[in-house]
Every structure is written in structure tokens, then in C-alpha cells.
Chains A and B, each alone.
Chain A
Amino acid sequence: MPQRPAADRLRWVEWLSLPLLFALWHLIAVVVAHRLLPTPATVLAELWHLASQRSLLADLAITLSRAAAAFGLAMTLGILIGAMLGRFRLPNLIFTPWLIVGLNIPAIVVAIACYIWLGLNDTALIIAVTINKTPLVAVTIREGVRALDHGFAELAAVYRMPFGRRLRLVIVPQMMPFVLTAARTGLSLIWKIVLVFEVLGSDGGVGFRVGIFFQNFDVPGILAYTISFMSVVLALEYLVMRPLEKRVLGWRPARP
């Protein structure tokens, strides 16, 4: 494996990043000294209080399950559609305008339409999020398919590699940077959309609870839920995405 001495030497800087953010927040809160901008300590105390009541964990579980379902659906559909559009010219010509519409239609419109047509339920929410996210995955995957190296396709052809072997050893490794990009942007987008849609029409979840806090101007509550949610996102990033990236993209030359 290639060595990355420079990157490894500077790795500790990244660990200072979040404490720095908290320090900055604390400093501003102390200077402003207003009840609508609590200090990190106040918010962490509120977080502990909410967690001990279990409502926070229940809301987190609801939101995460919705996000996971929408993410899985959007990635599956997006990969299939993107692969087809990247590979075949005619479907690409037919469906490109659809993709443009899908990419630009306001998320809130899709959510409202789904809620009206399907009712205020989880199915409508998950479908709305999936509709919002799928075009972005499809576009990324389409570019990946278009970028597949023709030389490697020739190599596979001349050695008559069966489709499964070709897919596993030649195509998927080339596609992984695109799949991971789609996954990462997908996760960040889906978190946000799910929360907005939960505010709009839901009976539980982080977004629903933040909506209630908003009505009461309960900023510590809003920030406590935000921190808890961001902790999950960061855990996913550092415990899932990065190890996965290292595993499947470790062959790429080190960047300075």
C-alpha cells in the first residue's frame, strides 16, 4: 500500500476541528449573552436531560429509520437508472429532461404533493425523500459509467472475462469513487430533507420535535437535538464512510 506520511502527520489537526468549533461557539455565546444563544454547556445539559427522558433516542430512531429507508431506495434506484443512462444512448436522450426536472423541482413541492396524495404517513415521507435524492445519484452514476476506461473494457473483452467477473474486478472498482460520492452527498441531503419533511407533516422524529421547540422558542432544545443528530452523522462519517473509502479506494495515489 502507498504510504501517506504527510497526510498522517497532520491527522491530529482534524481532531482539533470540532473542539475549536465548540470553543468559538462558547466565546460568541459569552459575548452575546442572550437567552436565544445558549452556551455549549447549557445545550449539553439539555441534551443529557432529553436523553434521560428517552424521547430523544426515540425521535432519533424514527428519523434514522426514515433516512435509512429513503437512502437505500434512492441509492438503489439511482444506481440502476444512472447505469442505464450512462450505458445506453436512447434512454439517456429520453430521460435526461426528466432528470433535470427531478434535480430542480423544489423538495417542499414534492413533499406536499406526496402528503396530499398518500396522506401524512411514513410512506409518503420516504417516497418524497427518495424522489428528491434519486436524480442526484443517477447523474453521479451516469458520469461514472461514462468515465469507465475503454482500455479496461478491451482487456476484459480480449480475455473473455464473464460478465460477473468483469463487473466485480473491472467495473465496480472504477465505479466506487462515484458510488461513494453519491452516498456521501446523498446522506447529507437526505438528513436535511427528512428533517424538513418531518416538520411539515409527521408525528415523531427529530424534525417533528424541532418544530415543537421552534414554536416555544426553545433554542437549547433545538440545539440539543441538532447536536445529537450531528453526532450520529459524524459517527457514520468516521466509523462507516471513511473506513469504507479507505478499503475500496486505498489503491488511489495519495493526495498531497
Chain B
Amino acid sequence: MATGQTISVEIRAKQFDGQPLFQGLRFDVPPGQVLALIGPSGVGKSTLLRLIAGLDRTFDGTITIGGLPAGQGPVPGFVFQDPRLLPWASALGNIRAVSAAITPAQARARLAEVGLSGHENALPQALSGGMQRRVALARALAVNPGLLLLDEPFVSLDRKLASELALLVAAVAGRNGSTVVLVSHDPEDAARLADRVIRLSGRPARIAEDRSLPTPRATRTPEVIRTLVRSMTEGSPA
């Protein structure tokens, strides 16, 4: 069973295409917290997620996960913006590919959780875009991550399915005590799933808003979610 990991981000400077992207960006995420990073397109949300995952180390500063430099601690679960499924592997094969420790039974269980029972042997090309996203999510959850990094995981899914998967992510994260960082352009994703929201804005990006969402996730009704979304888009307190 994984335990949530503390994330500590301190970026003094990060350039992108020769231009400053981040400057003086600092925040910590305690274990088990679900943090949503929101902000306009191009502000650097996905880049920040890649830095946290250890995929990009070209920056001045330090990012630690559970006290270890990013990319050196336990394996995180990562959902990329595109499903990024291996086209030559079945849905089951894609889940099992990322870790030798994932048994077929575990992979089947993860697929069932995302509503894809019966599609175990389907190649990605035989799945719809939404189904491919769900396989990618199942893959990320299959490693029982202490840290779950989600880059627009619910984009192109219909509202009902997005809501169900958000609940699933919340349930798995809660069960594992996982720390979650969710990048989304959609405040509704944040309102559904997050304990805390950081809104980035500007160039170089800075933290325009950092607030905890007051209501416990489990008790958020559609009305509460709508209120939270309104407050995020209007910048008023919820």
C-alpha cells in the first residue's frame, strides 16, 4: 500500500523557448492532498507537472518528492494530456507494460474500475478517445502510486463519465493516501476533486491564488461544485 508523499517545489527560474516561464515559484503539498493547478492555456501548468515528475530537469531550483529529488523517489502514476497508449499492446498489455509487478488480475481490476471490462484484449486503435483516456487512467492507478500526476485527465470525456472518473480518482487516492496533482483548464475538475487550488497566471507565471476548498470532497453536491466553479472563475471566496 502506497502512502502519500510530500511535494516541495521551489523554482527560482525556468525558461521555455528562451523566455522566462517561472520565477520565484514556491509551494508545498502535504501527503494525501489533492492539489489542482489551474490557469490559462500556456501558463506552464503541464510544464510544472513534468518538472514534478522529473521529466524535465532544466530549471534553477529544487523539487523534492518525499524528500528525494523529483524523478528519484517512488514511481508516480502519470496521466499525460494524450492517452499515450502503446499501439501494439492491448489495453491489458498497456497497463502491465509499466511495471512487472502488476499482475493480470490487478490490471483487469483497474480496467473494470474505469468501466472497461470486456475490453482487455482490445488494441488502442479499436478504442474510442474516451476509452483510451480511461485506459491511461487505469494504468496510472495500477502502480498504486503515492503520487498521482494528472494532466487534463478528463478532457474530451462527457460530463457524466468525467464526474465518475473524478470520483474514482478521489476514491483510489483516498484509499492509498496518495498525493495528487491535477492540471486542468476546467475549474469544474478542480471543484470536483481538489482539496486545494493553485491558480497560475502571468509570464513569468506566478501563483495568483492559492486556496483550500472548504467543503470536504465527499460531500460536494452538484450545487456546491457549481458554487465552487463560480467562485474560481470570478475569483471570489467560496
Is chain B found bound to chain A in the same assembly?
A: yes
Using a CB–CB cutoff of 8 Å, the interface residues on chain A facing chain B are: 1-2, 151-152, 154-155, 157-161, 165, 169-170, 173, 251-253
B75 and A159 form a contact (CB under 8 A): yes
Q: How far is the CA of A161 from the CA of B71 in the complex (A)?
A: 12
A251: chain B residues at CB < 8 Å are 87-89, 123, 125
Can you name the residue of chain B whose Cβ is closest to the Cβ of A149?
A: B84
Can you name the residue of chain B whose Cβ is closest to the Cβ of A174?
A: B88
A173: chain B residues at CB < 8 Å are 86, 88-89
Query: Residue B2 at the A interface, CB < 8 A?
Result: no
Q: Size band of the B side of the interface?
A: 20 to 34
Q: How far is the CA of A117 from the CA of B118 in the complex (A)?
A: 65
B53 and A2 form a contact (CB under 8 A): no
A2: chain B residues at CB < 8 Å are 123, 125-126
Q: Given A2-B126, A253-B125, answer yes or no on A158-B53 (Cβ-Cβ < 8 Å).
A: yes
B97: chain A residues at CB < 8 Å are 161, 165, 169-170
Complex A-B, nearest 3 residue pairs according to Cβ-Cβ distance, in ascending order = A159-B98, A251-B88, A173-B88
B54: chain A residues at CB < 8 Å are 157-158
Query: Residue B154 at the A interface, CB < 8 A?
Result: no
Query: Residue B80 at the A interface, CB < 8 A?
Result: yes
Can you name the residue of chain B whose Cβ is closest to the Cβ of A248?
A: B88
Query: Residue B55 at the A interface, CB < 8 A?
Result: yes
Please encode chain B, from 69 to 89, with 1 for each CB lying within 8 Å of some chain A CB and 0 for all others: 001000110101010101111
Query: Residue B99 at the A interface, CB < 8 A?
Result: yes
Q: How far is the CA of A161 from the CA of B55 in the complex (A)?
A: 13
Least CB distance from B224 to A in Å reads: 34
B78 and A159 form a contact (CB under 8 A): yes
Please encode chain B, from 44 to 75, with 1 for each CB lying within 8 Å of some chain A CB and 0 for all others: 00000000011100000000000000010001
Residue of A152, A165, A169, A253 touching B84 (CB-CB under 8 A): A152
A165 and B100 form a contact (CB under 8 A): yes
